[in-house]
Chain A
Amino acid sequence: MGLTFECARCHDHKYDPISQKEHFELYSFFNNIDELGLTPGGAGKIPKPYMTITEKEKNGVLSFVQIQKSKMEEIPVMVMNEMENIRPSFILNRGVYDQPTTQVYPNTPKSILPFPSEYPQNRLGLAKWLFHKDNPLTARVAVNRFWQRMFGNGLVASSFDFGNQGSLPTHPELLDFLAIKFREEGWDTRKILKYIALSATYQQSTEVTQELQEMDPENRLLARAPRLRLTAEVIRDQALKISGLLNREVGGPSVKPYQPAGIWEATTGGGGGSTATYVTSTGKDLYRKSLYTFWKRTVPPPSMMTFDAASRDLCTVKRQETNTPLQALVLLNDPQLIEASRLLAKTAMDTHMEKIDQISFIFKQATSRDPDEEELQMLGNYYSSMLEKVKNEDIGAEDYLSIGAYEIKGEYSKYKLAALALTAHSILNLDETISRG
């Protein structure tokens, strides 16, 4: 809903018209689940209620998630079940769990939209209320987040707060127009994203003139396209994609790509368990999209965290976009990036004869544009210098080319391959490569 609703857990909201009572009324919609939580009986036991995915579904409608890879014949999946006899909910004094006071019943904040009496007082009713045509928030908050996704900032910059403490929309009519369009066209996310992408505003150049910089340093008026750093996942996925390593398989169990040795082991209690030791995946599983990377919440993948991936500890509406020395170290020294550079060099040599064309190819793969003459010359000089160093054995070509599990087959000059891989390695480190726009 784009509100700081949790403020009202301990007291009435200090700025927005949300009372503590309303907080617990909304809470009570969800306090009616007969889930047992973690049950005695050890790991692997699924507490009730759950539904079962059968053999037929595994191979039928759910085949895309590849659960056939699982050894289990029938897979239990936990579900939320509405209780028949409603569990009473109470206002908790100052939000403290063992201090219940007045009993409350499922209801929604009046200041947003009173709960229609014809709706059932359960989660179904709440869902209907969220998508009611007079609910002022749902569609606006949603399209604002899509806008944020496309432009870095929402039309309401505080995408997490549409309350009195939040920002005003820079373009209120546009926000309303998009919200209504989204609602009337069936809440179709793909469609609205495409609509935004095809707009003239989205397709502008990112070039910043002195004049624009002074008039609108934050680019709130969108007279230019924003320049955004790619997210942690996209930086890795892009390198996999352009080097041809990417495994595009959909669904299935998580995988464990390269990670520095010893970081799980250093923090585990030593009692064993499936996450005591990091066992790196092999073969194609090394190159799946970062979406499929195994995520240990107490020790998340460091290369992802360095690029501001969400820690999964708190709900994150908007990620940070930082610029730090540790990011430079990851891009320079992560074996995944070096392996991708090697593969990029190989592909360039497969498809182009001349060194200049090979470099142009790699540059365009990484930045989506052709290098200009000056850039080509700089990169060409760099390549020549590297080639000389490889030949003089100032660079250990075999060592460098052995980084990463992928084995290149076929006959390549190791000198040229190493020199071109080092050139690609530089290109993957450019600010432009890890930025959009």
Chain B
Amino acid sequence: MDVLKAWLTLWGLLLRRPVISILLGMVYLTTVLLIVVAAPGKRGALVALMSAFVAGGLSAVLSERIRRHCLAAGSLGIPGHSQLMHRTQGLFLILFVAAPGVVACALGLSPLTTAVTLLLGPAVGIALSVYGLWWIMLVPALGRFDTHTEWVSLPITQAAGAAASLWFIWRWFELPGRSERIGQEGPVRLGDSRHERAIRHSGPVQRSNIAVDLFDPHAHDAVLPTIDPNIEAERTLPAAFATGLGYSVRTNWRFTAYGTAAGMTALIGWHVLRGGQAEITSYVMICMVCGVSLVARLQSILQRWMRTSTEQAILRIAPLWPDPAQVKRAMLGSTLLVQRGALAAWAAITLCGWALDLVSNTCVFRAALALAGTSLAFSGSLWATLARRQVREWHTATVAIGITVGSGALIAAFGAPLLSLHVALGLALMLAAPAAALAWYLLAPARIPISVDPRALSSRPTSI
């Protein structure tokens, strides 16, 4: 009976979601196809690797859902909830780590390699979900070892990796209890009906890119006089919305300059340490940081629009609230304005690296494609989300835009041997989906206040 309950919980939290089911099916189908064409000696490694990716992704999603449910369960005082979550976590590990491990071993992979591969996946997923994305900045350190890959195959390294992953997974079992305790202590506002589900009051400590403003409550007092008194002036609308809905479209140029300087230092320092012209590891990492920064700013806009439906309702009935077309244009302007800093920093670092002959033309071209793809994919996803009647957690449109733009970027960057017009085709693919999303957003009725599915609102971050 406990196993059945755990299965039903796992199903409800994770597998019931169409996006997850579809992606899971696609990954498993790809794995089977690869196994068929792979050499017999590689099949075990293939199973372990693909299963590790699956376990990593699913564990990240599952951690987020467990945390959210346990916060609510803690506030409601539901008995035995954390025990059920522990059983669910155990079942997850059996299904997505132990079972593929047995298959990989049966296909000839050594038990130690199997263990480290399959444990590393969920450990990384848990770390991503629980500790956030900042620790990914440590990855460049691994670049020191990228030419000495033999260390990865050392038994001692693998044993250490497996042990560290196991420790992470062990700590993961503390997540339900800890989240429930936080739920008990924190102020939780409960709605009075099913369609107004329990939503954690995000308050002044929620994730936002305007953390500085939150800790300096008078910052917006200083901003307000700079807003044109005639709020209907379209030129100032992005800034006016940002002030009213709690985000910022301003670019912190000083911070951008510091970041650019740090990036240039890293690029040059890396070159001095490692030598050679085609030192792409550090440059790739710098581009990734720019991409993450750009995505964070775009996501902050979406998050704030999702979390401020009450404020939008108040403003929507004000006599000087602009007409829907102006609101849409202002939103469009906001999505472009918030990307300025990251793009400027990337351009400056790239120019420096290119001028000093630290990065090749091909490398710059591919990095530009990657960054443009990131910008287009996430902007398109934002527009598609806002065009919908109800903002939900996942949309097929978001996945489709990501896949199309990603495919376009890959074709443009690497399609040379196969296609003669690969750049044109790739760029067309990159632009098509975001352009469609933009057209959808501009044509769809303006949804203000935004109707948000409560499941799409994430809880306050916690740590284990």
- Do the two chains belong together in a single complex? no
| B interface residues, Cβ below 8 angstroms from A | none
| A interface residues, Cβ below 8 angstroms from B | none
